[in-house]
Amino acid sequence: MSSAPRTARGRATRDRILDSALKVFGEVGYHDASIVRITEGAGVAMGTFYLYFEGKLQVFNELVEDLNRRMRHRMTQAIAAAPNRLEAERAGFRAFFAFTTEVPQLYRIIRQAEFVSPEAMHLHYGRIVDGYRKALAAASDAGEIAPVDPEVTAWALMGIGEIIGMRWILWQEGSDGAPPIPDDVFEHTLDFITRALRPDKE
Protein backbone atom coordinates (compact mmCIF):
# COMPACT_ATOMS: atom_id res chain seq x y z
CA MET A 1 0.00 0.00 0.00
CA SER A 2 3.02 2.30 0.25
CA SER A 3 4.12 4.33 -2.71
CA ALA A 4 7.45 3.06 -3.93
CA PRO A 5 9.66 6.11 -4.44
CA ARG A 6 10.47 6.73 -8.08
CA THR A 7 13.63 8.75 -7.60
CA ALA A 8 16.96 8.11 -5.89
CA ARG A 9 16.21 11.02 -3.62
CA GLY A 10 12.83 9.51 -2.73
CA ARG A 11 14.45 6.17 -1.95
CA ALA A 12 17.03 7.88 0.25
CA THR A 13 14.29 9.67 2.18
CA ARG A 14 12.30 6.47 2.63
CA ASP A 15 15.46 4.67 3.85
CA ARG A 16 16.11 7.47 6.32
CA ILE A 17 12.62 7.06 7.73
CA LEU A 18 13.12 3.29 8.05
CA ASP A 19 16.48 3.81 9.78
CA SER A 20 14.89 6.14 12.27
CA ALA A 21 11.97 3.75 12.81
CA LEU A 22 14.47 0.96 13.53
CA LYS A 23 16.07 3.06 16.26
CA VAL A 24 12.80 4.23 17.78
CA PHE A 25 11.03 0.84 17.77
CA GLY A 26 14.19 -0.81 19.09
CA GLU A 27 14.61 1.71 21.90
CA VAL A 28 11.14 2.36 23.23
CA GLY A 29 9.04 -0.38 21.68
CA TYR A 30 6.12 -0.17 19.31
CA HIS A 31 3.62 1.16 21.82
CA ASP A 32 5.68 4.12 22.94
CA ALA A 33 7.02 4.89 19.48
CA SER A 34 5.43 7.88 17.81
CA ILE A 35 5.49 9.04 14.21
CA VAL A 36 6.67 12.43 15.48
CA ARG A 37 9.72 10.81 17.02
CA ILE A 38 10.40 8.79 13.87
CA THR A 39 10.17 11.85 11.60
CA GLU A 40 12.30 13.93 13.97
CA GLY A 41 14.96 11.20 13.97
CA ALA A 42 14.86 11.09 10.18
CA GLY A 43 14.89 14.88 9.83
CA VAL A 44 11.79 14.90 7.64
CA ALA A 45 8.43 16.63 7.93
CA MET A 46 5.32 14.74 8.98
CA GLY A 47 3.82 15.26 5.52
CA THR A 48 6.87 13.59 3.96
CA PHE A 49 6.35 10.52 6.17
CA TYR A 50 2.84 10.12 4.82
CA LEU A 51 4.10 10.22 1.24
CA TYR A 52 5.76 6.88 1.91
CA PHE A 53 3.84 5.25 4.74
CA GLU A 54 0.25 5.12 5.85
CA GLY A 55 1.04 5.05 9.55
CA LYS A 56 2.93 3.41 12.38
CA LEU A 57 1.81 -0.16 11.65
CA GLN A 58 2.82 0.07 8.02
CA VAL A 59 6.26 1.47 8.74
CA PHE A 60 6.66 -1.35 11.28
CA ASN A 61 5.68 -4.02 8.74
CA GLU A 62 7.97 -2.58 6.07
CA LEU A 63 10.79 -2.41 8.55
CA VAL A 64 10.43 -6.12 9.38
CA GLU A 65 10.40 -6.90 5.67
CA ASP A 66 13.45 -4.73 5.06
CA LEU A 67 15.46 -6.27 7.95
CA ASN A 68 14.44 -9.75 6.88
CA ARG A 69 15.61 -9.11 3.32
CA ARG A 70 18.93 -7.65 4.46
CA MET A 71 19.55 -10.56 6.84
CA ARG A 72 18.78 -13.21 4.23
CA HIS A 73 20.87 -11.40 1.64
CA ARG A 74 23.83 -11.36 4.02
CA MET A 75 23.48 -15.04 4.82
CA THR A 76 23.03 -16.04 1.18
CA GLN A 77 26.20 -14.18 0.22
CA ALA A 78 28.11 -15.70 3.13
CA ILE A 79 27.27 -19.28 2.24
CA ALA A 80 27.59 -18.96 -1.54
CA ALA A 81 31.16 -20.28 -1.60
CA ALA A 82 30.67 -23.07 0.97
CA PRO A 83 31.68 -26.47 -0.44
CA ASN A 84 29.05 -28.42 1.52
CA ARG A 85 26.12 -28.01 3.91
CA LEU A 86 28.12 -28.21 7.13
CA GLU A 87 30.43 -25.45 5.90
CA ALA A 88 27.35 -23.51 4.77
CA GLU A 89 25.92 -23.76 8.30
CA ARG A 90 29.15 -22.42 9.74
CA ALA A 91 29.25 -19.49 7.29
CA GLY A 92 25.52 -18.85 7.67
CA PHE A 93 25.62 -18.76 11.48
CA ARG A 94 28.68 -16.52 11.35
CA ALA A 95 26.79 -14.08 9.11
CA PHE A 96 23.64 -14.31 11.24
CA PHE A 97 25.51 -13.47 14.44
CA ALA A 98 27.40 -10.64 12.71
CA PHE A 99 24.09 -9.16 11.54
CA THR A 100 22.71 -9.47 15.08
CA THR A 101 25.71 -7.55 16.44
CA GLU A 102 25.17 -4.81 13.86
CA VAL A 103 21.39 -4.64 14.17
CA PRO A 104 20.49 -5.88 17.67
CA GLN A 105 17.12 -4.14 17.32
CA LEU A 106 16.06 -6.91 14.93
CA TYR A 107 15.31 -9.23 17.84
CA ARG A 108 13.30 -6.72 19.78
CA ILE A 109 11.29 -5.78 16.76
CA ILE A 110 10.49 -9.38 15.85
CA ARG A 111 9.43 -10.14 19.41
CA GLN A 112 7.12 -7.16 19.44
CA ALA A 113 5.61 -8.34 16.18
CA GLU A 114 3.94 -11.19 18.08
CA PHE A 115 1.36 -8.71 19.33
CA VAL A 116 1.70 -5.81 16.96
CA SER A 117 1.62 -7.62 13.64
CA PRO A 118 1.50 -11.42 13.62
CA GLU A 119 1.60 -11.24 9.81
CA ALA A 120 5.01 -9.56 9.92
CA MET A 121 6.27 -12.22 12.32
CA HIS A 122 5.01 -15.08 10.14
CA LEU A 123 6.53 -13.46 7.09
CA HIS A 124 9.89 -13.11 8.83
CA TYR A 125 10.14 -16.73 9.93
CA GLY A 126 8.40 -18.11 6.87
CA ARG A 127 10.85 -16.56 4.41
CA ILE A 128 13.87 -17.78 6.34
CA VAL A 129 12.51 -21.31 6.73
CA ASP A 130 11.51 -21.53 3.11
CA GLY A 131 15.04 -21.35 1.73
CA TYR A 132 16.56 -23.20 4.66
CA ARG A 133 14.19 -26.15 4.31
CA LYS A 134 15.02 -26.58 0.63
CA ALA A 135 18.77 -26.42 1.22
CA LEU A 136 18.54 -29.00 4.03
CA ALA A 137 16.36 -31.30 1.93
CA ALA A 138 18.87 -31.18 -0.94
CA ALA A 139 21.83 -31.80 1.39
CA SER A 140 20.00 -34.65 3.08
CA ASP A 141 19.14 -36.25 -0.30
CA ALA A 142 22.76 -35.87 -1.39
CA GLY A 143 24.02 -37.55 1.78
CA GLU A 144 25.97 -34.45 2.84
CA ILE A 145 24.04 -34.47 6.11
CA ALA A 146 22.05 -37.08 8.02
CA PRO A 147 18.56 -38.00 6.75
CA VAL A 148 16.82 -35.29 8.79
CA ASP A 149 13.34 -33.86 8.46
CA PRO A 150 14.08 -30.60 6.60
CA GLU A 151 11.28 -28.50 8.08
CA VAL A 152 11.68 -29.41 11.75
CA THR A 153 15.45 -29.14 11.33
CA ALA A 154 15.21 -25.69 9.73
CA TRP A 155 13.12 -24.45 12.66
CA ALA A 156 15.39 -26.08 15.24
CA LEU A 157 18.45 -24.41 13.71
CA MET A 158 16.71 -21.04 13.65
CA GLY A 159 15.76 -21.48 17.29
CA ILE A 160 19.38 -22.18 18.21
CA GLY A 161 20.63 -19.10 16.37
CA GLU A 162 18.04 -16.88 17.99
CA ILE A 163 18.57 -17.94 21.56
CA ILE A 164 22.38 -18.00 21.39
CA GLY A 165 22.31 -14.55 19.78
CA MET A 166 19.94 -13.30 22.45
CA ARG A 167 22.06 -14.60 25.31
CA TRP A 168 25.55 -13.70 24.07
CA ILE A 169 24.96 -10.68 21.85
CA LEU A 170 21.71 -8.94 22.73
CA TRP A 171 21.95 -9.32 26.49
CA GLN A 172 25.55 -8.07 26.41
CA GLU A 173 24.66 -4.86 24.60
CA GLY A 174 26.22 -1.81 26.19
CA SER A 175 26.23 1.90 25.51
CA ASP A 176 28.76 1.31 22.72
CA GLY A 177 26.62 -1.30 21.01
CA ALA A 178 26.36 -5.07 20.96
CA PRO A 179 29.51 -7.23 21.04
CA PRO A 180 30.39 -9.93 18.51
CA ILE A 181 29.63 -13.53 19.42
CA PRO A 182 32.49 -14.91 21.59
CA ASP A 183 34.66 -17.38 19.67
CA ASP A 184 34.20 -20.25 22.12
CA VAL A 185 30.42 -19.85 22.14
CA PHE A 186 30.43 -19.87 18.35
CA GLU A 187 32.54 -23.06 18.24
CA HIS A 188 30.40 -24.83 20.86
CA THR A 189 27.27 -23.88 18.94
CA LEU A 190 28.72 -25.21 15.71
CA ASP A 191 29.84 -28.40 17.48
CA PHE A 192 26.25 -28.99 18.57
CA ILE A 193 24.89 -28.32 15.08
CA THR A 194 27.55 -30.44 13.40
CA ARG A 195 26.74 -33.38 15.68
CA ALA A 196 23.05 -33.03 14.91
CA LEU A 197 23.56 -32.87 11.14
CA ARG A 198 26.59 -34.97 10.23
CA PRO A 199 25.87 -38.15 8.29
CA ASP A 200 25.98 -41.44 10.16
CA LYS A 201 29.26 -43.24 9.78
CA GLU A 202 29.10 -46.27 7.53
The residues that touch a copy of itself, with contacts defined as CB under 8 A, are 29, 31, 107-108, 111-112, 114-115, 122, 125, 146, 148-149, 152-153, 155-156, 158-164, 167, 171, 184-185, 188-189, 191-193, 195-198, 201
Scored b (16 or more CB within 10 A) or e, 58-77 reads: ebbbbbbebbbeebbebbee
Element (H, E) at 64: helix 56-79
Scored b (16 or more CB within 10 A) or e, 165-196 reads: beebbbeeeeeeebeebeeeebeebeeebeee
Cβ 200 to a copy of itself shortest distance, Å: 9
* Of the candidates 57, 65, 155, 67, the residue with the CA atom closest to the CA atom of residue 105: 67
Measured from the CB atom, the residue of 42 and 193 that comes closer to a copy of itself is 193
Measured from the CB atom, the residue of 69 and 167 that comes closer to a copy of itself is 167
Cβ 50 to a copy of itself shortest distance, Å: 25
Cβ 79 to a copy of itself shortest distance, Å: 20
Cβ 125 to a copy of itself shortest distance, Å: 7
Which residues, 6+ apart, have CB-to-CB distance to 93 below 8 Å? 161, 186, 189, 190, 193
Measured from the CB atom, the residue of 38 and 165 that comes closer to a copy of itself is 165
Cβ 81 to a copy of itself shortest distance, Å: 26
Compute the distance between CA of residue 191 and CA of residue 195 in angstroms, rounded to an integer. 6
Measured from the CB atom, the residue of 20 and 189 that comes closer to a copy of itself is 189
The type of residue at 154 is: A
Cβ 188 to a copy of itself shortest distance, Å: 4
Compute the distance between CA of residue 196 and CA of residue 199 in angstroms, rounded to an integer. 9
Measured from the CB atom, the residue of 2 and 173 that comes closer to a copy of itself is 173
Reduced DSSP (H G I as helix, E B as strand, rest coil) percent helix, strand, coil of the chain, to 5: 75, 0, 20
Measured from the CB atom, the residue of 54 and 149 that comes closer to a copy of itself is 149
